Chain A
């Protein structure tokens, strides 16, 4: 997972957009609902007004009729008070009703009819009362009996009843709608809220996931960093070692190659001196005794000696260059990787040394089982063959030789120890034996001082190391520490 995951950004951004969208939707819906509720409330109020106005008119008409009846029965003027108030109030009540009806967008045709009916009714009432006052009681009753007033009253009651019923039903509908709206709003808000919570949880999950990814990535970076430091340290050590080796190598080569050169130059000049002595002797008509002696010495000793040394130095130089070339070739040789059984390898090496072993009255003990390694067979043969050969070569003369081989394997590494009871190496020479052209101890065995330098270079190329411990005069142990599976290094600088 990359640190700035575009997937993460896209997901969280999407969730945030969705949540915001839902919030805005809820807000718009709420506002819309409020507006609707307000409208509904307004219409409910108007309908109430219509109903109240209608009721007031009906009451006024009934009051007026009751007053008329009372007056007609008793003839007492005091019964007429409600009629007077109804007569004066009705026009106002009617206009109120009309206004209210208009405000609810209701047809006001029936109001006009109601107006007519009320005026018919009121006229009838007024006439009967006037007749009663004039004392014409019978005429008044006749008008009542005629039924014109009753008909008008019935129709008015009908019309008013209708208006009231309509208004009430409308109030009911409005209230129902308001309730439904409120319920809807509650649902929308609830679902919206739940969605926002859900989105938040999802976003939280993504954030957690991403954070976990970031932490893991950081962890990995840190691990890589540590690994890198280790690798740098490892490389630095190996480079430092290589550098020291190359310096030592250059030092050794420069000295060892220079030494025969000094001889060649020197004895060439000495040849000059000798030939001059000969020339002086031959050129002289009568050579002196001293000249004769010098010429004799030159011819008999000095010239052959010079030639001998020049020849020897040339041979030596050739041998040195040959050894360096051999090391260089070996160092450049591509190492192969194959499984090598060390017990078989040691058995073969011991067989090769059998003649030397017999001569030196020595035995080699090789365990039945030795670990196997993955490495270059030829290189391993050279390494162990060389160490065994040295062990046989530098045995002590005063006791039978015993060379013991032991091996162990642990933690992906194989350690082989070759121990001999030979003459041993002095402590100061322990490191020196691995140097090119250097040999330790009494120089009574042939050799050029190349073997162990070559062994160390080979072992190091296979990713291992070789060390030596010794008790001078008693025993020597070479330990070769190899990786179980060697990774082949670039040709080692030591072996240029």
Chain B
């Protein structure tokens, strides 16, 4: 089930982030960490879901792809938690790692995300140094991580 290390380069990063500025900053810092993977940005949940699950909503189209989801919790049209729930309950894409990247540092919210199957939870710090650091570390993490695909 596990993909071999060389596949790390083929991991596609799906970034669901409504704030364009944040998206840009995240992208810059990931690139700075030397990660060159494709990043597909979405500004709202509806568009992201239709990409992730395909037109028929089954997720078939992405079954064989290696995806990493960067997810903001506060989206204008739906809550990130419900996106997380959908991803983790879809048999085709539930093994894709989901990194929650949000401004919310509410304890219960964090617990809830892990309960629902989130793999990493990162709070966006207002302090840019910390923010950039966190993203760069995430980038390093992405460059070495094994992402499974579903057969």
Q: CB-defined interface of B43-81 with A at 8 Å, one 1/0 digit per residue?
A: 110100000000000000000000000000010111100
Q: Are B106 and A262 in contact (CB under 8 A)?
A: no
Pick from B19, B44, B76, B132: contact of A263, CB under 8 Å: B19
Is the CB–CB distance between A309 and B24 below 8 Å?
yes
List B residues 117-138 near A (Cβ within 8 Å). 124-129, 131-132
* Contact (Cβ within 8 A) A266 B21: yes
A256 and B74 in contact, given A262-B124, A266-B128, A267-B21 (Cβ under 8 angstroms): yes
* Chain A 225-269 interface residues, beta-carbon cutoff 8 Å to B: 251-252, 254-256, 258-263, 265-269
With A251-B106, A269-B132 given, is the CB distance from A443 to B76 under 8 Å?
yes
Cβ–Cβ contact B131 & A255, under 8 A: no
**At the interface, yes or no: A438 with Cβ under 8 Å from chain B?**
yes
The reply to whether B76 and A439 contact each other, CB–CB distance below 8 Å, is yes
Interface residue count for A (Cβ, 8 Å)? 32
Q: Which residue of chain B lies nearest to A302 when distances are taken between CB atoms in the complex?
A: B28
Q: Does B112 contact A (CB under 8 A)?
A: no
- The tally of residues in B whose CB lies under 8 Å from a CB in A reads 28
Query: Cβ of B126: which chain A residues have Cβ within 8 Å of it?
Result: 258, 261-262, 265
- A443 CA to B77 CA, complexed, in Å: 7
Tell me whether A440 is interfacial, beta carbon within 8 Å.
yes
Partner of B21, one of A255, A313, A426, A442: A313
Beyond A265-B127, A269-B132, is A259–B19 a contact (Cβ under 8 Å)? yes
- Cα A443 to Cα B132 in complex, Å, equals 29
Distance A449 CA – B78 CA, assembled complex (angstroms)? 12
Residues of B within 8 A of A440 (CB): 77-78
B77 adjacent to A442 (CB under 8 Å):
yes
Chain A binding surface, main DSSP class: helix
| Separation of A443 and B46 alpha carbons in the complex (Å) | 8
CA distance A202 to B72 in the complex (A): 84
A439 to B77, CA, bound (A): 5
User: From residue B124, how far is it (CB to closest CB) to chain A in Å?
Assistant: 5
Interface residue B82 (Cβ < 8 Å from any Cβ of A):
yes
With A256-B74, A261-B126, A441-B46 already in contact, the answer to whether A251 and B82 are too (CB < 8 A) is: no
Enumerate 22 A-B pairs (CB-CB under 8 Å) in ascending A order. Answer: A254-B103, A256-B74, A258-B126, A262-B103, A263-B19, A263-B21, A266-B21, A266-B25, A267-B25, A269-B128, A269-B129, A270-B25, A305-B24, A309-B20, A312-B20, A429-B77, A429-B78, A440-B77, A441-B46, A442-B44, A442-B46, A443-B43
Enumerate chain A interface residues (CB-CB to B < 8 A): 251-252, 254-256, 258-263, 265-270, 305, 309, 312-313, 426, 428-429, 432, 438-443, 449
The 5 nearest A-B residue pairs measured at CB: A263-B21, A309-B21, A269-B128, A266-B25, A265-B128
